[in-house]
Amino acid sequence: MAGQASFPVSIRVEEAPFDPTAELARLSGADDMGAVVSFTGLCRGEGGRLAALELEHYPGMVEAELARLIAEAGRRWPLLAVTVIHRHGRIAVGEPIVLVITASAHREAAFSAAAFLMDWLKTRAPFWKREIAADGTPGDWIEAKADDDAAASRWDAPEAAQ
Amino acid sequence: MAGQASFPVSIRVEEAPFDPTAELARLSGADDMGAVVSFTGLCRGEGGRLAALELEHYPGMVEAELARLIAEAGRRWPLLAVTVIHRHGRIAVGEPIVLVITASAHREAAFSAAAFLMDWLKTRAPFWKREIAADGTPGDWIEAKADDDAAASRWDAPEAAQ
Amino acid sequence: MKVRYFAWLRERVGRAEEEIALPPHIETVGDLVGWLKSRGPEFEGAFENAAVVRAALDHTHASLDTRLGQAQEVAFFPPMTGG
Amino acid sequence: MKVRYFAWLRERVGRAEEEIALPPHIETVGDLVGWLKSRGPEFEGAFENAAVVRAALDHTHASLDTRLGQAQEVAFFPPMTGG
């Protein structure tokens, strides 16, 4: 998991809302950039039950861990650029929480790398979510899901990197 | 493959360049929209060899086939919205050719549906590409790739749809 | 019946579309291909490799043994290369 | 050594971080957890279920048998729920 990526990488961990479309526009296409995949994760309202999520994070480690995940993605797929933006603090229903953008020559690498980054980010990047109910009351910390562990572990075997 | 999708669908087949970021912004987040995946396919220059691609299409059938693919995706995954935009005519190196956006409550459905739509679009939507060399000379029609057939066929078995 | 041709099939047959009166006993897409090939060397050449010819009836993918039925439009084209 | 706590672990131990002087014979993350649990009921409670406690040494994920070595900072937290 050590090492630097050999392509342009943008990592931002910030409190302010971001605009996924502006981030996508920032990516200038290289001659061989044939495929760009973006994933935007948004705060769901759970049928009106929630007003927001509150995200705690571990400053310093988050950035280091995201850089490691991106470097690992770069070893598995021929990437041309990666952007990861993750918010912390209070995130209202409907607002974006996380954005992952991957660029490659071909679609398979871009799709796989984006899915890989999201799966590993969910289980490895030090963020913790707490629910804020519709009436503003802080609620429970969200528990990690077995589904997310399963999604992350499908990338464990080196042969899964195809 | 018959039937209508039960979620908002936008299909556009047009000659003018489009802005992927503006299309992404058009998607208004429903309360339960937790995941949005976009795929943008761009015209590669193949190391300076090409100036553009020229795309021929079958008007009428393209729209009908894309609607069928989207309806099929809607039967396989719980989607909240799908956008597909595909250009025809001359597309310069660096310009977007195709955009697929899928929205769902969770990331797995959004990722799978976007990959499925691209794989099936490549082998089923009636478009044909011809190369335009860097000096402007029309070149060969691009041949269909066995890789694309393989990518499409991984979705054949109903059990592959999760 | 309207017949349309796309991409290199269009170039080889030298036209984008035409109206044809279906001769009797032409019941399937494959029958139609066989009859088209009898119309001249440009059709013989365009359809010589059946493995790389795709067909659609009224905007829906069809195979060689699909029956023409009441279709208004049949189209022939190479394997698709969009996206 | 700086020890940091996050999310419900932070709430249960009642502090976000502290400086501790490592007692002798504390060589691994697991040794440190054992020692922390001896400091009082809030630590005993926070660390009672080892299966849901994660650790990092100097911003890198670690396990219970990772040696503390020269690490400047150790952090304890629940399984992550970002994204």
Q: Which residues contact D49 (CB under 8 A, 6 or more apart)?
A: none
Domain that includes residue B32, residue range:
9-151
Place of tokens 């080892």: D50
Look at chain D and report how many structural domains it folds into. Answer: 1
C-alpha distance from residue B92 to each of A33, B44, B89, C32 (Å): 13, 9, 10, 38
pLDDT, tens only, B7-65:
999 999 999 998 887 888 787 778 899 999 999 999 999 999 999 999 999 999 999 99
In a domain, B95, yes or no: yes
In a domain, B3, yes or no: no
Which CATH number is C69's domain given?
Answer: 3.10.20.30
Q: What confidence score (pLDDT) does residue B3 get?
A: 61
- C-alpha count within 13 angstroms, C-beta hemisphere, residue C58: 7
Look at chain B and report how many structural domains it folds into. Answer: 1
Partners for A (CB, 8 Å, 3+ pairs)? B, D
pLDDT, tens only, B111-154:
999 999 999 999 999 999 999 999 999 999 999 999 999 999 99
In a domain, C73, yes or no: yes
| Window D:41-80, CB contacts with A under 8 Å | 56, 59-61, 75, 77-80
In a domain, A132, yes or no: yes
Count interface pairs B-C at CB distance under 8 A. 73
Q: What confidence score (pLDDT) does residue A158 get?
A: 57
In a domain, D56, yes or no: yes
Q: Are A99 and A12 in contact (CB under 8 A)?
A: no
In a domain, C82, yes or no: no
Q: What confidence score (pLDDT) does residue A25 get?
A: 79
Answer yes or no: do B97 and C83 touch at CB < 8 A: yes
* Nearest CA distance, D53 vs chain A (angstrom): 12
Q: Is B113 helix (H, G, I), strand (E, B) or coil?
A: helix
Q: What confidence score (pLDDT) does residue B103 get?
A: 96
Answer yes or no: do A38 and B34 touch at CB < 8 A: no
Which CATH number is A102's domain given?
Answer: 3.90.1170.40
Partners for B (CB, 8 Å, 3+ pairs)? A, C
A29 and B CB contact within 8 Å: yes
Q: Does pLDDT of B161 surpass 90? A: no
Average pLDDT over residues A39-43: 96
In a domain, B140, yes or no: yes
Q: What confidence score (pLDDT) does residue A157 get?
A: 67
SS (H, E, C) B20-77: HHHHHHHCCCCCCCCEEEEEEEECCCCCCCEEEEEEEECCCHHHHHHHHHHHHHHHHC
Answer yes or no: do B47 and A25 touch at CB < 8 A: no
Q: What confidence score (pLDDT) does residue A162 get?
A: 42
- Which strands sit side by side in the sheet containing C73-77, from one edge to the other? C17-19, C2-5, C73-77, C54-57, C60-62
Neighbours of B104 (CB within 10 A): 25
The whole-chain average pLDDT of chain C stands at 97
Answer yes or no: do D81 and A129 touch at CB < 8 A: yes
Q: What percent of chain C has pLDDT over 70?
A: 100
In a domain, C7, yes or no: yes
Partners for D (CB, 8 Å, 3+ pairs)? A
Domain that includes residue D34, residue range:
2-77
* Nearest CA distance, B59 vs chain A (angstrom): 25
In a domain, D39, yes or no: yes
b/e code C55-79 from CB counts within 10 Å (16+ = b): bbbbbebbeeebebeebeebbbbbb
Measured in degrees and rounded to the nearest 5, phi and psi for residue A160 equal: -75, -5
Q: How far apart are CA D13 and CA A90, in angstroms?
A: 23
pLDDT, tens only, C10-19:
999 999 999 9
**Is the complex ipTM higher than 0.90?**
yes
In a domain, A162, yes or no: no
Q: What confidence score (pLDDT) does residue A20 get?
A: 81
Q: What share of chain A is helix, strand, coil (3-state, %, to 5)?
A: 35, 35, 35
In a domain, C19, yes or no: yes
- Which strands sit side by side in the sheet containing A9-14, from one edge to the other? A9-14, A79-87, A96-104, A35-42, B35-42, B96-104, B79-87, B9-14
- H or E element at residue B131: strand B127-133
In a domain, B160, yes or no: no
Residue ranges in chain D modelled with pLDDT below 50: none
Q: Does pLDDT of B160 surpass 50? A: no
Average pLDDT over residues A31-38: 94
Single-letter code of the amino acid located at A78: P
